[in-house]
Structure 1
Amino acid sequence: MTYQEKKSIVSLISAILIFVSYSLYLYPQHPEGGLGSTETFRYWGSFVLILTVVSIVAHILISIIFNIVFRITTKEKEPKFADELDKLIDLKANRNSFFVFIIGFLLAMGSLVFYQPSQVMFMILIISGFLSDVTGSITKLYHYRRGV
């Protein structure tokens, strides 16, 4: 298994673990107020902002730990360059990831058009962000395994 495949697997697993653990941690703190209360908007806003920061920091730490463990176990260095294949795979993964997020964004806005509670919009946005991250990692893994 190549470095890029291992990194994609670690990225996929870490994205799932970060999202699930953070959601399970913060879900019990959901406010009991009405659907349009200020506290509900505050909860969802802080949920998104804190999840973004926690996810970025956790991905950076996991990447550093992965590189250290990879170097210790294989005695190889991380590749310092990206060839055309790596760049093409990154572009395809970003395209698929953005596509999933845009579909989720449109669904979230559509939920407001159909008079759904604002909580539905926030949940769709959060889930589409998570799915876009997972889609990017799966796309990279797929293309490194099967080719472009």
Structure 2
Amino acid sequence: MSYQEKRSLVSLVGTLLISVLYGVFIYQRYPTGIPETSEVFKFWGAALLLFVPVQVVFKVILYVLLNVLNTIATREEEPEIADEMDRLIELKSVRNFCYVFMIGFFLAVGAPVVDLEPSVMFLILLITFVVCGAVLDISAFYFYRKGI
């Protein structure tokens, strides 16, 4: 298995793991018994804003661990040069990410239009972030396995 495939799988597992842990953390702190007030909006806004840095920090730690363990196991460094195939795979993976994000974004924006609670909009956005990250990693792994 190539380094890029390992990186995609580690990123996918990391995305799913941190998302589940963060979801449990958010669920425990959700203000129950309060109708849709500014407090609930404040809660969801903070939850979404905190989710991105948590994901970034966790991914950086995972990539460092992957590099260290991969170097110890294979005695090879991370490839520093990205060729045209790497760039093309990255572009196609990001394209898939953008498609999924746009679908999720429009679903989230459409939720209040069909009289769903505003919390549903934030939940859809949060789930969209997780699914987009998974689609990005799965696409990269698929394209590295299959080829372009």
Q: Do Structure 1 and Structure 2 share a fold, with TM-score over 0.5?
A: yes
After superposition, the C-alpha distances for 1:69-115 in whole angstroms (9 at most, x for unaligned) are: 11111000100100010000000000000110110000011111111
Contact 1:108 1:125 in 2 (8 A): yes
Q: Distance in 2 between matches of 1:77 and 1:107?
A: 43
Unpaired runs of 5+ residues, structure 1, are none
**Equivalents in 2 of 1:35, 1:75: separation in Å?**
57
Tell me how large the CA RMSD over aligned residues is. Answer: 0.9
Structure 2 counterpart of 1:108: 108
- Distance in 1 of aligned mates of 2:101 and 2:132: 5
Superposition pairs of residues 7-18 of structure 1, within 5 angstroms: 7-18=7-18
Q: Partners in 2 of 1:118 and 1:75 — Cα distance?
A: 52
Match of 2:90 in 1: 90
C-alpha distance in 1 between matches for 2:35 and 2:116:
10
The one-letter amino acid of 1:99's match is: Y
Matched positions, count: 148
TM-score of the pair, normalised by structure 2: 0.97
Which residue pairs with 1:32 in the alignment? Answer: 32
Rounded Cα–Cα distance in structure 2 between residues aligned with 1:73 and 1:56: 25
Structure 2: give runs of 5+ residues left out of the alignment: none
Percent sequence identity over aligned pairs? 40
For 2:120, the aligned partner's letter is V
Q: Shift of the alpha carbon at 1:145? A: 0.6
* Secondary structure of the corresponding residue to residue 8 of structure 2: helix
TM-score, normalization by structure 1: 0.97
Compute the displacement of 1:43 (Å).
Answer: 1.1
Distance 1:130 1:102 in 2: 13
